[in-house]
């Protein structure tokens, strides 16, 4: 779904909102502004029921990967400035993060500290321009994604991770594991080239996804991450990201199954 994005403005009320958020969470981030309106069927509650974690509004930064984002190679390696292919760009007065590579795999991530037991839904929008040819998240030799959004949980060096992808080849709706790593659960939200060049909104119930794919209750989210990569296929992979938001939607209590004897009365 293509949604026009209006110019964002900042005001005194917004200043107070971000000041409160900083005092409560201690998390750095983009300047508070009017977020892009999502599709009308998406409900956005007011107040602290919604966390606009990353809107990519950095008026003082025109390009590059803004703090608090960091770029890494694998688990240990810090990417050098020349290796980082994530950069801020602007379109119709709005900033977003763009990624483009034909031979590399660099992760970009920022602190999150979100409790999915409270803010259970996760929303963002992305736009893919080019998918890695033959990319397949289940095969180590082809494990490249045009766009992928990761939420990493507290839990040590190899923590559990939910990875939402726009895949070159896996069908939409596929739920699987990342090649060679059972702690990374992959959910395919988009597949193929039909909607290339369009901003697409996504909204998932990350809390329910975690419980279904891992079992049990999730620890707090530690990192929000993204990756557009092409180190395995060595073909062009290009995408844009924006408007990462966590939303509190009341969890409906589980209902007791109806007693068969009562049902027959």
| Whether pLDDT at 261 is above 70 | no
pTM for this predicted structure: 0.84
What is the overall mean pLDDT for the chain?
Answer: 86
| Whether pLDDT at 19 is above 60 | no
| Whether pLDDT at 61 is above 70 | yes
Indicate whether 72 belongs to any domain: yes
Count of domains forming the chain = 1
Question: Rg of the chain's alpha carbons, rounded to an integer?
Answer: 19
Give the confidence band of 260 by pLDDT, cuts at 50, 70, 90: very low
| Whether pLDDT at 13 is above 80 | no
Give the confidence band of 258 by pLDDT, cuts at 50, 70, 90: low
Indicate whether 218 belongs to any domain: yes
**Chain segment 204-238, per-residue pLDDT in tens:** 999 999 999 999 999 999 999 999 999 999 999 99
**Chain segment 96-155, per-residue pLDDT in tens:** 999 999 999 999 999 999 999 999 999 999 999 999 999 999 999 999 999 999 999 999
Identify the CATH number of the domain in which residue 94 sits.
2.60.120
Indicate whether 148 belongs to any domain: yes
Q: Which residues pair with 178 in a beta bridge?
A: 181
Indicate whether 67 belongs to any domain: yes
Instruction: Express as a percent the part of the chain with pLDDT over 70.
Output: 81
DSSP 146-201: SEEEEEEESSSTT--EEEEEEESSSPTT-EEEETTEEEEEEEEEEESSTTTTS-EE
Indicate whether 9 belongs to any domain: no
Q: How confident is the model at residue 262, as a pLDDT?
A: 45
Q: How confident is the model at residue 8, as a pLDDT?
A: 41
Give the confidence band of 158 by pLDDT, cuts at 50, 70, 90: confident
Indicate whether 41 belongs to any domain: no
Q: How confident is the model at residue 99, as a pLDDT?
A: 98
Q: How confident is the model at residue 91, as a pLDDT?
A: 96
Nearest to 151 by CA among 92, 72, 210, 74: 210
Overall size of the chain counted in residues: 265
Q: How confident is the model at residue 27, as a pLDDT?
A: 54
**Chain segment 175-195, per-residue pLDDT in tens:** 999 988 899 999 999 999 999
Range(s) of the domain holding residue 243:
49-251
Q: How confident is the model at residue 47, as a pLDDT?
A: 86
Q: How far apart are CA 231 and CA 73, in angstroms?
A: 11
Instruction: Specify the DSSP class assigned to residue 49.
Output: G
Indicate whether 263 belongs to any domain: no
């Amino acid at each position: 779904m293509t949604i026009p994005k209006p110019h964002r403005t900042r005001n005194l009320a917004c200043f107070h909102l971000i000041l409160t958020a900083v005092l409560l969470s201690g998390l750095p981030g983009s300047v508070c502004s009017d977020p892009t309106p999502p599709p009308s069927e998406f409900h956005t509650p007011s107040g602290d029921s919604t966390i606009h974690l990353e809107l990519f509004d950095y008026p003082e930064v025109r390009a590059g990967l803004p703090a608090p984002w960091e770029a890494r190679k694998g688990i240990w390696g810090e990417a050098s400035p020349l290796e980082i292919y994530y950069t801020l760009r602007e379109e119709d007065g709005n900033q977003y993060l763009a990624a483009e590579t034909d031979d590399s795999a660099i992760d970009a991530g920022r602190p999150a500290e979100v409790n999915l037991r409270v803010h259970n839904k996760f929303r963002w929008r992305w736009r893919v321009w080019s998918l890695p040819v033959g990319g397949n998240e289940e095969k180590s030799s082809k494990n490249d994604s045009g766009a992928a959004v990761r939420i990493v949980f507290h839990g040590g060096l190899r923590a559990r991770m939910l990875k939402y992808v726009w895949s070159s080849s896996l069908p939409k709706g596929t739920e699987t594991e990342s090649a060679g790593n059972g702690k990374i659960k992959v959910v395919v939200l988009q597949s193929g080239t039909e909607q290339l060049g369009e901003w697409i909104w996504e909204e998932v119930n990350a809390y329910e996804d975690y419980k279904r794919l891992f079992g049990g209750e999730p620890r707090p989210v530690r990192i929000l991450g993204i990756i557009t990569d092409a180190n395995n296929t060595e073909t062009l992979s290009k995408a844009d990201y924006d408007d990462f938001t966590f939303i509190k939607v009341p969890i409906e209590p589980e209902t007791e199954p109806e007693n068969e004897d009562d049902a027959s009365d």
